[in-house]
Structure formats: structure tokens, C-alpha cells
A = this chain, B = another copy of it.
Amino acid sequence: MLQSQLFTRVRKEAPKDEVARNAQLLIRGGFVRKEMAGVYAFLPLGLRVLEKIKNIIREELNAAGGQELHLTTLQSPDVWEKTNRWDDEVVDDWFKTELKNGKPLGLAFTHEEPLTNLMRDHIDSYKDLPIYAYQFQTKFRNELRAKSGIMRGREFLMKDLYDFSLDRESHEAFYEKMKEVYMRIFSRVGIGEQTYITLSSGGTFSKYSYEFQTLSDAGEDTILFDPEKKFAVNKDDYSEEIFQDLGVNKDDFHFQETKSIEVGDIYTLGEKYSKALGLTYRDAEGNDVPVYMGSYGIGVPRLMGTIVEIFADEKGLVWPEEIAPFRVHILSLDGGRDEKVLQAARELHDNLEKSGIETLLDDRDLRPGEKFAENDFLGIPYRVVVSARSLESGGFELKKRAEDDAAVVSRDTLVRSIRN
């Protein structure tokens, strides 16, 4: 893409009312725009990152047997009343609205109820199970305050998957599998090393549950983690009992304490929703049995904000390769519109794009200093400088965003290096 045609530019300052570092950086880079507290629009660069994260999640969930669907925002009270989650006294972050005829509606803050209800049409026999259904869907949560940038929204995109299993045992097998699936997702988006499967207190159906916590000073949680053993416990739930329950020796661990961001959570729901909404299956003996369920969430902008918080440096954003808006950023330093330089830059851009390498070409009429500063700020993994000097030295100057060393290389070497 030609940067001259991209309508956003890097700006010097973020709006004064934006307090979260992730949103400040993303707004300055032209990735997102703040519409109101906790409500962000995604501009072209930001949407590219978001879609890449979504695609990684989608690939991993499909490989695990997930079936994608798309439920609705508007919700009728009836199914929510059955689980006692319609009342504003019980759930305090509903946005409510109403139809012309006065019938109240809610904007979904989660989707256990409608999906459980929907599955009543599709689950009859034990032969129909298991079913793993997921969606990417905007959730609406009427938070009193929203000061964490894109990490805690009033309107935000969430991936939520639900398993509909025969019994506790088959649910638990899937739950274990999802731990690996989630870790694969977090590794692919670039934060595998910093992310810990973290033990925390369970709900009605299990003594413990697991969260995915990513080490970051921007986090709202505190965990105790052992980097060598890759083991972590939420500080709120740390106790001697845990080690007894797990059958391990506490003294084998060397814990450090740190702030962390919860980037994913996986819950055992058990029979809570299936019983309340009447979702049963007929077993081999002809008995009606409630379906056993679990839920698996990832807030997609939260994940994106976490990545920003972890990798950004004093020069701006730094994107991991798999989710960067572009893989390569070419800067054409064609002082005084040197046609030869601009032409070489354009050819390189077209070549890379044809090879399937997403490329942004800064073809604007700006001073080199401005181009370098914007390049650093946008955080695209590979920078290529095309100038009269680089062409004289036989090619293009290649540098990684996260490294300091630059080298002039030929086109073939360039393509090889970027592909790897």
C-alpha cells in the first residue's frame, strides 16, 4: 500500500483525556480512535492488526473442532430471566433498550444464555455431542469507569467459545486441550514467553480454574510465577493448600511477584446453564441428561493492547511479525523527488506485494527525519530504506524494528531475509 493513500498519519500527541498507554500509542499511530471512554473505532492500520489476531485464533479453534457462528446483540429478557441474569440488581453492567412497542431488550454482555437456548434445537441425542461453537462478537458492558484504553471496553470484540459435552470427564479432556490451544494462540501472536497458565480459585463446579496471565506492569492482576517451571498462581488465591491439592512440593518453586494482564480465561460452567434452560440429551439408556458445558474467552482488543504494552519502546509501537499491519515498511528517501529513487522504491513495493509480502511504501514528500520517526512509531517489523546512496551501494538498506543493525543488501537477499 502507498502511504500517500493511507488517510491516517502519526501524530505528536494523544488526546489529553486518554490515560492508558496502549490507547495513547495506538491513537497517535492512527490505529484506533477514541469515540468515548471504553469505546474505540478501529482505523485501517488497527483493523489490520485486529483481523490478523482474529485469523490466528480462528485457525487454532477450527483445528480444535470449533464451528464458527454469529449470535446477536439484541437480547430478549425471557432466556435471561431463566438464569436470573436479566435483573439489573444481579447483573450491573447491562445496556438496556426497548422496541417501539415498549418491550425491553438488552445488549449482550456475554452469550451463554442465547447459545444454550439455541442448542436446544440441535441437541437431541448423545450422538450429537460434543459440539464446540464459537464466535467473534461485539460485547457491550456498561462499566462505571473505563480507563484501561482498549483493554477494558464498554463495547469490544470478544472471541467466545463454548463446549457442549456429554459429561464432566469429556468436558475436562477438552478443557485440557484448550489450555494448549490457548498457549499456541498466545505464542503465535508473540507473547508466549510472557504468558502463564495461572491457577486461580474455581467456581461452583471445580475447586480451581485457569487464567492466562501475561506479565506486564500495565496489568490489574498480581501473580506469583516461577519462570523456570512455567508455573503461576494468582496472588489472591495463593495458599499452602494448593500445593497439597496438586501433590507438589512448595519448596521446589522460586516465585517472583509481578503485575499481569488476564488475556484469556477458561471456565467450567457445568450444568448451570443447561439445567436452567432445559438443554438435555438422551443417553444410550434413554435418560434425559443435562449437557455439561464450559466457556473459553479472549478479548481481542485486550490482547492487542497487551501486545502494545509489552513491546512498545521509547520510539513507539513494536509489532510481532505475525500480527503486524504490514511486514515491510519501505522509506523512499527521494530528496527533491529523485525519480530514480522513487521508481526503485515503487518497483520493490510491487515486487514484494506480488510475492505475498504485505508492504507499506512511504512515498510521501517529507523530510527523511520525519519518515524515520513515523517508521519507528508504527512498529512494522522490517524497515527498508531506498535512497540514492543505497542504490549506489548496490541495493536497499534493511533493518529490523527491534534491532539496531542495518545493512545494504541486494533485492534477492532482501526478499530471502524478510521471508524467513
Interface of A, secondary structure class, is mixed
| A76 interface residue (CB < 8 Å to B) | yes
- B contact residues around A128 at 8 Å (CB): 7
Count of this chain's copies in the oligomeric assembly = 2
- B contact residues around A6 at 8 Å (CB): 67
User: Once bound together, how far apart are the Cα atoms of A6 and B40, in whole Å?
Assistant: 35
Pairs across A and B, CB under 8 Å, 16 listed:
A5-B65, A7-B67, A7-B119, A7-B123, A7-B131, A33-B121, A35-B71, A36-B76, A41-B71, A41-B72, A43-B69, A47-B70, A74-B155, A96-B97, A100-B142, A100-B144
| A80 interface residue (CB < 8 Å to B) | no
Q: Which 9 A-B pairs have the closest CB atoms?
A: A42-B70, A95-B97, A97-B97, A7-B131, A44-B67, A41-B71, A35-B72, A7-B122, A100-B144
- Which of B9, B42, B114, B122 meets A35, CB within 8 Å? B114
User: Once bound together, how far apart are the Cα atoms of A43 and B96, in whole Å?
Assistant: 25
- B contact residues around A43 at 8 Å (CB): 69
User: Once bound together, how far apart are the Cα atoms of A33 and B8, in whole Å?
Assistant: 39
User: Once bound together, how far apart are the Cα atoms of A245 and B222, in whole Å?
Assistant: 72
Q: Is there contact, CB below 8 Å, between B114 and A73?
A: no
Q: Is there contact, CB below 8 Å, between B97 and A69?
A: no
Q: Is there contact, CB below 8 Å, between A47 and B68?
A: yes
Chain A residues within 8 Å of B, Cβ to Cβ: 5-9, 33, 35-36, 39-44, 47, 50, 65, 67-76, 95-100, 105, 107, 114, 118-119, 121-123, 128, 131, 133, 138, 140, 142-144, 154-155
Q: Is there contact, CB below 8 Å, between A138 and B73?
A: yes
Q: Is there contact, CB below 8 Å, between B8 and A122?
A: yes
- B contact residues around A105 at 8 Å (CB): 95
- B contact residues around A100 at 8 Å (CB): 142-144
User: Once bound together, how far apart are the Cα atoms of A142 and B102, in whole Å?
Assistant: 11
User: Once bound together, how far apart are the Cα atoms of A98 and B106, in whole Å?
Assistant: 12
Least distance between A300 CB and chain B CB atoms (Å): 12
Q: Is there contact, CB below 8 Å, between B72 and A133?
A: no
Candidate in A6, A68, A144 with the most chain B CB atoms within 10 angstroms: A68
